[in-house]
Structure 1
Amino acid sequence: MPPLRRAPLLLALALACAYVPQGRAALFEDSEARRAILEMRQRVDALQQSGQRAGEDNAQLRRSLLDLQSQIDALKAEVAGLRGQNEQLGREVAELQRRQKDIAQGVDERLRQFEPVQVSIDGQQFQADPGEKRDFEAALARFREGRYADAQGLFATFLKQYPGSGYLPSARFWLGNAQYATRDYKEAVQTFRALLAAAPQHARAPEAMLSIANCQIELKEVRGARKTLEDLLHAYPQSEAAPAAKERLARLK
């Protein structure tokens, strides 16, 4: 027990002894007095020990509270760290998902570059590879730009590269026209005849036959031109090329 708390107890004990009546004080023997003092001291010591234990308990409680607070602070810090890690993981997962989506889209786009596409040209419908379609359209673009020599080379390459293409009749038709434009009449005749032999019912067949006649006229093959025009009128009387064939045939006669 702290000194300040012990002082009032000792003072009370002294006063109690001082106010004992003289008559009765004489009745106490020395042994009884010593026993009483010893009991009083034991009580005081017990109170002191009790106070010390209470103080120790309080100190222990304070240390326990401090330890608990430290643990709570540590847990808060750990939770905050875990929350930050979760947020970072969430961002990383979102980024991975975005990349996966981009990769999937890129793969789909690359696959589409190789998937056959539906083509409709000159009344014909067929499947063609994207590269095949691109090469044909590039050659046709050169022809329409008036770059006939370039178109002639591109169409000739196309025929060699895609011998089974659905574009073949149309490619031969435009190759023949490019050859005619560059005054390569004999080659043009061969190209148009190849078209007629492979696809006599093609939409461009009547025009191809008319073009053969024009090439023959340029080559001064009048008899051959006349025969070609007559064959055209016989094979394709209802075609758009028929009126032009009649006109040219009349002039040749």
Structure 2
Amino acid sequence: MRMRRLGWIFGLGMAFLAQAGEKDLEARVQILEQRLSSRALVELVQQLDQLQEEIKLIRGQLEEMQQASEDWERRYADLEARLRRLEGAPAPATPQVGSQTPPESAAPGPSEAPAEQPAPALPEDPQQAYQKAYETLQAGLYDEAILAFSAFLKAHPDSEQAGDAWYWLGEAYYVKRDFVGARQAFEQVIERFPDHAKAPDALLKLGYVAIDLGDWQAATHHLNAVIERFPGTRAAELARERLGRIQSETAR
């Protein structure tokens, strides 16, 4: 009888110990799970930070590729325009950067068509006239586009499309590497239409023109102005990227 009681008490003790051990194991498992969860969370945050840095790097590379693509498109368009002139009537060569450039007063202003070619006939309606000039530019007929936009601006200087016309006129000059004409046209956008949708791009292009002319001080001024006046825009991102190139080139 006494042995039975001892066995029963021993069994209860073992059961109690087993139950206490099970609870202790569960608590330890929970602690380990919490630790592992915290560690996994930290690792996940670190991976996200690394992915964000890689995304920034890829985005910067894409922007450089896009800018390089735009530069190649301009060069191709310039070569195409020169080839078209060679196939047709002979025309004087466009001066390159580093060569002697005629005084600004000798170059035709952005709002004036070259004297040797008559201004094209445009519709009387401003919207239709602008559309015809724009289509001419899109077709790669840069000489004709310059004439068309110049005629449009002379006939409709205060129209709703005037700001866009000045900008695209600057682009046409820029493709032809007439940096004086391009600069004058882009300046008109900034001075006359400071709140225009094309104002950030026009100011950015003024920086590009200054770079092409070798005026690093003016280029830095214009590019910084883009960042300050139009933060958060695509033009500001490109200006910041180009400033980085200028700094790396001048530091050599």
TM-score by length of 1: 0.48
Larger Rg: 1
Please state which structure has a larger fraction of its residues in helix. 1
TM-score by length of 2: 0.48
